[in-house]
Structure 1
Amino acid sequence: MVPRMQETQPLNDVWRFCGMQKNDSEQFAALLLVTKVVQAGAIDAKTRRRIFDAVGFTFLNRLLISRTPDGCPDHIFQALGLTLLACFCTDPSLAAHTQVLNKIPTLNEVICRQHQDNLAMKPVIEDAYQCLFAIAETPAGQQHLLDHGSVSALCLTYQSQNHGHSRALQLLKILLNTMGFQCWKKSKSELMDVFCMLCREFCQSEDSKKFELCEILSFFLPSPPSLTSSPLGIECLKNTYTGLSSILKSKLTVSQRDPALKLSSCLLSDYGIDWILADSRRARSKFLSLLVNLACVEVRLYLEDTVLEEDERQAVIAACYGIIEFGMMTCINAETLLLTQEQKLQLIDIMTEAFGAVVYYLKQVDLERMHSPFIFASVRILSAWLAEETSSLKQEICDLLPFLVHYARSLFSGKVEINQLSCQIAKIRLSEDSSKSAWPRDVLRFLLPGLCHLTAEEKPREILIKEGFPSLLLLYFCSQWEAFNSNHQSLPNHTDVEMSIQTSCGIFLNLVVTEPDLVRQEDCFSSLLSLLMKSAPSLVVNTDHLVLAANFVTLGLMIYRILSNSSVLSTPVVSTFFKSAIHLLSNAHFIKANPEENTSNIAVTGQYFRCWDEISELWFLGMQAFASCLPLVPWLPQLVLESGWPRNILHLLDQASPTSVDMELVTAFQGLLLQLAKHSRQCEDLILSEGGEQKANLYGMAALEQHLQGK
């Protein structure tokens, strides 16, 4: 006989009752009673744990795999086991237990099974979903679900519209939100089938479900070029566009419009304008203009009227930032013919108003709120604007510069932490194998292009100097150079690091050219010179980084002109640096024969030609700076002479057709040859012996000709 138990008996005695039973029959009967208590929900965590300790997994495992005896309801053992398992899974520590994770295949099988109208199985399915959701909430649970095929099982469940298919979609949404790339990699076919099904529903639905699907599609969106590379994907995009168009062209409440803006932002970010599959170019341009206008209006309404508090709409405004940024890139890209000039001007005007609202919002930020990912997103979108447009909102931007410098310093110094979720909200692209700390504090990466423009203007430059920006930039420069110089050049962000270093060099060049007294007064410039001179030689010999090498050499020469009397560097280091500078500057040109016209021209060498648009200004500035260093370093002319550079220049001029040589190049050569002749008798003799006086006359090098004639 199984001891009877009154339902009024205290719950904390249940666990003891389970443990008293001596065989399977008694324990099974006891568990039936326990199940009633569990299903009633009147159980606390302590009692739940005691029940688990009494039952354990051994008997539970037998319940899940044992066949139901003849004459008993189907799946009664499994139903009892899943009810208990669902109860145990409400304890996070139990949900992460190996024995629970081992049940994932069984849970997948339960939710996929076709049950038709069997009402008795619905509670079993609900219990299975409760277990799956509990597992997904554990730190490693989602990976286990992925590894055990739950994504495919959930997709099949939704396609079959089995009982609980809405919960399957909800769980898929959770998995895709955090592990989207891995989910698509493992179950691409099944996810694509569900995505197509959702797109069709989204296009055809005319009730509230349309807005629910709009939000869900953002999570299911596969990475490019999955949709544009197949007819099935194109159909999905067309259905998505049709559904979004009907939403955004209607009068909607905020809650209805927000999901549409989020989905549009994701589509623009991943697929550009290719997803706007309207019938004509005019319709496409009108839809894009509508999107950008709506995003700008939302940004203004929120940022100009809201109180500085965290709320759920910030994610929507961050999505609007993405739409505005795409609109901005479309307007400035001359190759994009989608928008007319009139449409571009209209969009630029409304975007300027939106960025005015961003500036207004950031001016109100206090120190306690700098951890907010929305602040990061706002600074990032403003940085994108500043990189392209510094003539608008000049005074407002100048007023905001102290905050931007302080914010950048706070993040860089580690006073503000931005985690992985924050990176997503702030629209920072992290690769699947990136660590959480890949770019969390690198707001300067976004700010640098705009600051490069601003340091060329007197007023913003004065503000940046006053706020100590040069010292901050040096710290950032050093950290980026260390990252670049590490053994992780295969990382996805390596190109970003190189670009940040180059842009930093551009800012330093602006400061060196316009503020020579600052260079003499601030210690950071002597530290920068030391880094440049020690690092340039390794870059110059690597043609893969020619642009970066040109930046290092030119900036180093420009600073050395001002700090030549400083004892910051030893002679060997300076000598090695100048050898590298000679190598970089002297190898830029060669004689190119033109057989058809029986002439020869001075042309840019192949390795330089590939990036000449990026380095030509640096090369000419470097030539000028090198020439101005010759009077400052007594042994430098001899070093140049030994390199053979002067003779090579004269040979270039001798073989070329004078009318074919650009005057800017002639001026650069004259500046170098003149300084060599003035400060080295040996160099002067070489120039004269190579017909320098005649060449000076032939190419219009008046200053050089006059000096040589005076001798």
Structure 2
Amino acid sequence: MAENGCHLIPEEVPTPQHPPSTEPNAAEGSISDPSGLSPSQREVLERCLHALTHAKNDSHILAALLLITRLCPAGQLDTGTLHRIFEAVGLNLPARLLVTAFRGDDSSGLPPEELISLGTALLAALSTDASMVAHPQLLSTVPLILSILENGPNWTDKQTKTLGNEAQSGSGSQTGSATDSQTTSSTSTLDEALACDCYQVLNAVCVLPQGLEQLLTRGAVLALCRAVLKRQTLSHEKGLPLLGHLLSSSIRPRAWAKHSSDLLLLLQNVSQNFCRVSDQDRLEMCSQIPPFLPPPGVESESLVLKEIVGNLWASLLPLIQGKLSQEHLGSVLVVSACLLDLYGWESTGPPKFCCLLVNRACVEVRMGLEEPPGTEISPQLQHILTACYRIMEAAMEQACSHGAVSHPAQIQTAITGLSLQQSRQVLGALEEAFSAEMYFLKQVEQTSFDDPFLFATFRSLCAWLAEETSCLKEEVIDLLPFLIGYAKSHFKGGGKGKGLADWMSKMSISNSSQDGTWSREAALRYLLPSLCHLSAEDGPRQVLLSLDTPALLVDFLSQGWASLRGQSGKTVTRDPSLETACSALLNFAITEPERVRKDPCFVALESMLSEALPVLLHKPRLLVLAANCCTLGLMIARLKSTSTDPVELGQRRFFSSVLSFLLSAVQSGQASKPARISALWEEHWEEAGELWRLSLQALGGCVRAQPWITTLIRDEGWLQNIFTLLGSSGRLPDQPSQDALEEVLCAIAKQCPVCRKDISELVKSVSCGSLQGLPQLSRILVE
């Protein structure tokens, strides 16, 4: 290593050490500056700084630096002194010291460990200043520092190879001696002061605005993980907390995506330590577990992870059953919520234990929220209550779906062996806890709408309302103005959402509905399922109408369509929230015809649907949304009065798309067999089948209200296509679909004599089927 042609001269440089703090004695006078230096020490420091500034080569610089470190530890240097050192030395020297050591360059004349020790000491000192730690040259040393912490004294491959060569070159007892030396070196520990300096630099980088990204891209997660597994110096005391901080941040998903196998080994190590200790020590360690758990869905098929989770539950069982302090109970509930995020109730334990866990979470929510108005909830309690919300949500999913599992997705949330009585007990505890949530939300002022904990409580209540709207009905109706107002405020941009955005990116309890980032429509998305239920009931629906809820839903649907419109092929992503919004609007269209005829938002909705359906026909991944749009558009159109005005192009295009869309659901069966559901629709028939039948019924209503549609039906050859698909059996695969088809055919035959004649001729054709399965239509044709 050279600078200005000068090499490091070891004779002039004492061996670098990490001295203890220098304390002035009484003879040296009182402390005269913030660093704790006496006047005489300050005078020596100034001489060293002068020598440092005017050094002519690396040897002089090192000598001055070593004197400074002996005089005053890095942590006690004031900012001004640090800047003077930085200006004199810069980050070039410590970086070169590390590089020289790692390369094993002998030109320096100093052993690599001494270069490493001095280089890291300098970096640690400089990193105490934020402006210095952000310097690109300091950041470039992070991989070297990580290598030191991961590998201990054997930080380079060159050292290991050298030791191996020495072992091979010896003979007899000399060979044995070299081998012993290698073993000793490989198992020796890193100097603790050196490890402290390394962690000082990493922690300083971590707090930078982009520090987490800097550490992730430079391999910090993997290196720290392996350092802990190897039990390197201070890896558990300093490395594990730093790693926990990294894995609790927004980089968590990417860290697991890149290093899942190593992180799984680390989690196994952490969980084993947790399971081995006594119950009391385990309580103290509970907070250490959540950061090291993978995000939900990651490694979900791993048998190792399932075993780890099962062991953790077994260790938590006696804790939850015991008497705990408020602090310890909170930690246990947080861990439990995180484990439920991974596998639901699978491997949790016996039903009695699961019920106890839910009950403790519900009691905690009641105690935390049922406080007098104006009571401030501490951040720590908010964190605990958020975990309780997740436990309640998991319990509600099971209790509300008691009995046979109707969908494979419910299996992982099932509390195996939960009796009907236990299910009722769980629902009772949940009802009281959600009542407490409503009590809390009633006290909220609009100025608090950006509070992350308020959003967590709102989200929890929405999850309950999506499953259960019959309990506490009056309380729910009374709360509707707040719920709609809160969702509308965020959707319309009334709240800045900055606090929510930060919170959503750092949540320790997962947000499984989306990607964990905040968007202004998030609150409305969580509310939509309950609006779908509430809009079907007379009392809540009237309140929703008074709050102009249809207009809010139309705005949401229009915004969602604008986002989807530009997507194509494999980029198309299904958004169930848009389908739910359609369902809620469909309830209004069915039950409130006068409101639909008069409210301008439904005119805008009809225009949007006329634009959307023709496009959705060519997006097979969005078939369920297309079925919703088709049904909703027809339900609105059937309410229109007969008009002699020319048909608008948009209307004609919409109904043409409707005819094509409805036809696409059916394909010809085998000879004398009923028609079949087409391959395109079969995958989604459970969701879209009822919408298809409802659309046929609504089309019949449109034919009666707008006779011009029968002309379009004839022009499109729709009747001929239908009877051709029905085949010789003249039937659809199920009776409800057959009844819906017959209803629309009867409406067409009654409204249009020409169509009635067409149907008669089609029936006489051998290839087009019969009327055996259409008795009402048969009677109309003979009239």
TM-score, normalised with respect to structure 1? 0.87
Q: Which moved more, 1:254-263 or 1:105-114?
A: 105-114
**For the residues of structure 2 that align with 1:566 and 1:60, how far apart are their CA atoms?**
86
Q: CA deviation at 1:476?
A: 0.7
List aligned pairs for 1:514-593, cutoff 5 A.
514-563=591-640, 571-589=648-666, 592-593=669-670
Provide, for residues 217-245 of structure 1, a one-character-per-residue CA deviation record: whole Å limited to 9, x for no partner: 21111346776645543442333122211
Q: Work out whether 1:329 is the aligned partner of 2:368.
A: no
Q: CA deviation at 1:589?
A: 4.0
CA RMSD of aligned residues (A): 3.6
Provide, for residues 270-317 of structure 1, a one-character-per-residue CA deviation record: whole Å limited to 9, x for no partner: 1223343x5xxxx2x222222212211111111112724452221111
Q: CA deviation at 1:372?
A: 1.4
Aligned residue among 211, 217, 223 for 1:147: 217
Does structure 2 retain, via aligned residues, the 8 Å contact 1:202–1:239?
no
**For the residues of structure 2 that align with 1:570 and 1:217, how far apart are their CA atoms?**
66
- Name the CA shift for 1:429/1:420 in 2 (closer, same or farther; >3 Å): farther
Provide, for residues 461-508 of structure 1, a one-character-per-residue CA deviation record: whole Å limited to 9, x for no partner: 11111112111111111111112223377579x33x2x1111111111
Does structure 2 retain, via aligned residues, the 8 Å contact 1:262–1:319?
yes
Aligned residue among 286, 289, 302 for 2:355: 289
- Name the CA shift for 1:564/1:90 in 2 (closer, same or farther; >3 Å): farther
Q: CA deviation at 1:170?
A: 0.8
**For the residues of structure 1 that align with 2:481 and 2:187, how far apart are their CA atoms?**
67
**For the residues of structure 2 that align with 1:613 and 1:46, how far apart are their CA atoms?**
72
Q: Work out whether 1:316 is the aligned partner of 2:388.
A: no
Aligned to 1:354: 433
Could you tell me which amino acid in structure 2 is paired with residue 576 of structure 1?
A: R
Could you tell me which amino acid in structure 1 is paired with residue 542 of structure 2?
A: E
Q: Work out whether 1:398 is the aligned partner of 2:480.
A: no
Aligned residue among 60, 64, 67 for 1:33: 67
- Name the CA shift for 1:297/1:10 in 2 (closer, same or farther; >3 Å): farther
Aligned residue among 316, 330, 334 for 1:262: 334
Could you tell me which amino acid in structure 2 is paired with residue 32 of structure 1?
A: L
Aligned residue among 646, 671, 688 for 2:719: 646
Q: Which moved more, 1:546-555 or 1:106-115?
A: 106-115
Q: Which moved more, 1:186-195 or 1:81-90?
A: 186-195
**For the residues of structure 2 that align with 1:402 and 1:687, how far apart are their CA atoms?**
53
Aligned to 1:508: 585
Q: Work out whether 1:684 is the aligned partner of 2:723.
A: no
Provide, for residues 41-90 of structure 1, a one-character-per-residue CA deviation record: whole Å limited to 9, x for no partner: 44332332222112212333344446899999994554333222112112
Provide, for residues 366-421 of structure 1, a one-character-per-residue CA deviation record: whole Å limited to 9, x for no partner: 11211111111111111111111110011111111111111111111223212143
Could you tell me which amino acid in structure 2 is paired with residue 514 of structure 1?
A: T
Aligned residue among 282, 289, 300 for 1:217: 289
Does structure 2 retain, via aligned residues, the 8 Å contact 1:667–1:701?
no
**For the residues of structure 1 that align with 2:229 and 2:78, how far apart are their CA atoms?**
37
Does structure 2 retain, via aligned residues, the 8 Å contact 1:318–1:427?
no
Q: CA deviation at 1:345?
A: 1.4
Does structure 1 retain, via aligned residues, the 8 Å contact 2:561–2:612?
no
Q: Work out whether 1:107 is the aligned partner of 2:145.
A: yes
Could you tell me which amino acid in structure 1 is paired with residue 229 of structure 2?
A: Q
- Name the CA shift for 1:488/1:14 in 2 (closer, same or farther; >3 Å): farther
Could you tell me which amino acid in structure 1 is paired with residue 577 of structure 2?
A: S
Aligned residue among 368, 373, 377 for 2:452: 373
**For the residues of structure 2 that align with 1:208 and 1:116, how far apart are their CA atoms?**
36
Could you tell me which amino acid in structure 1 is paired with residue 203 of structure 2?
A: F
Could you tell me which amino acid in structure 2 is paired with residue 615 of structure 1?
A: A
- Name the CA shift for 1:55/1:538 in 2 (closer, same or farther; >3 Å): same
Gaps of 5+ in 1: none
Does structure 1 retain, via aligned residues, the 8 Å contact 2:491–2:520?
no
**For the residues of structure 2 that align with 1:522 and 1:504, how far apart are their CA atoms?**
17
**For the residues of structure 1 that align with 2:668 and 2:188, how far apart are their CA atoms?**
87
Q: CA deviation at 1:268?
A: 1.0
List aligned pairs for 1:688-699, cutoff 5 A.
688-690=760-762
**For the residues of structure 2 that align with 1:506 and 1:709, how far apart are their CA atoms?**
39
Aligned to 1:194: 266
Q: Work out whether 1:421 is the aligned partner of 2:498.
A: no
**For the residues of structure 2 that align with 1:674 and 1:68, how far apart are their CA atoms?**
97
- Name the CA shift for 1:268/1:117 in 2 (closer, same or farther; >3 Å): closer
TM-score, normalised with respect to structure 2? 0.80
Aligned to 2:164: none
* Identical-residue share of aligned pairs (%): 33
Aligned to 2:562: 482
Q: Which moved more, 1:151-160 or 1:97-106?
A: 151-160
Q: Work out whether 1:615 is the aligned partner of 2:649.
A: no
Aligned residue among 243, 263, 266 for 1:172: 243
- Name the CA shift for 1:520/1:174 in 2 (closer, same or farther; >3 Å): same
Q: Which moved more, 1:58-67 or 1:245-254?
A: 58-67
Gaps of 5+ in 2: 1-11, 14-38, 154-184, 406-413
1:456 is paired with a residue of what secondary structure? coil
**For the residues of structure 1 that align with 2:188 and 2:646, how far apart are their CA atoms?**
85
- Name the CA shift for 1:291/1:118 in 2 (closer, same or farther; >3 Å): same
Does structure 2 retain, via aligned residues, the 8 Å contact 1:414–1:441?
no
Aligned to 1:624: 697
Q: CA deviation at 1:453?
A: 0.5
Could you tell me which amino acid in structure 2 is paired with residue 456 of structure 1?
A: A
Does structure 2 retain, via aligned residues, the 8 Å contact 1:68–1:75?
no
Q: Which moved more, 1:451-460 or 1:327-336?
A: 327-336
Q: CA deviation at 1:565?
A: 6.4
**For the residues of structure 2 that align with 1:133 and 1:566, how far apart are their CA atoms?**
74
Q: CA deviation at 1:353?
A: 1.0
**For the residues of structure 2 that align with 1:701 and 1:235, how far apart are their CA atoms?**
61
**For the residues of structure 1 that align with 2:474 and 2:133, how far apart are their CA atoms?**
57
Q: CA deviation at 1:613?
A: 2.4
Aligned to 1:97: 135
Q: Work out whether 1:386 is the aligned partner of 2:465.
A: yes
Q: CA deviation at 1:10?
A: 9.6
Q: CA deviation at 1:256?
A: 1.3
**For the residues of structure 2 that align with 1:568 and 1:101, how far apart are their CA atoms?**
73
Does structure 2 retain, via aligned residues, the 8 Å contact 1:530–1:569?
no
- Name the CA shift for 1:328/1:682 in 2 (closer, same or farther; >3 Å): same
Count of aligned pairs between the two proteins: 689
Q: Work out whether 1:242 is the aligned partner of 2:346.
A: no
2:673 is paired with a residue of what secondary structure? strand
Provide, for residues 510-566 of structure 1, a one-character-per-residue CA deviation record: whole Å limited to 9, x for no partner: 111111111122111000000101211222344433222221111111111224569
Q: Which moved more, 1:143-152 or 1:376-385?
A: 143-152
Q: Which moved more, 1:370-379 or 1:181-190?
A: 181-190
Does structure 1 retain, via aligned residues, the 8 Å contact 2:296–2:342?
yes
Could you tell me which amino acid in structure 2 is paired with residue 483 of structure 1?
A: S
**For the residues of structure 2 that align with 1:683 and 1:30, how far apart are their CA atoms?**
103
- Name the CA shift for 1:515/1:121 in 2 (closer, same or farther; >3 Å): same
Q: CA deviation at 1:601?
A: 3.2
- Name the CA shift for 1:37/1:585 in 2 (closer, same or farther; >3 Å): same
Aligned to 2:31: none
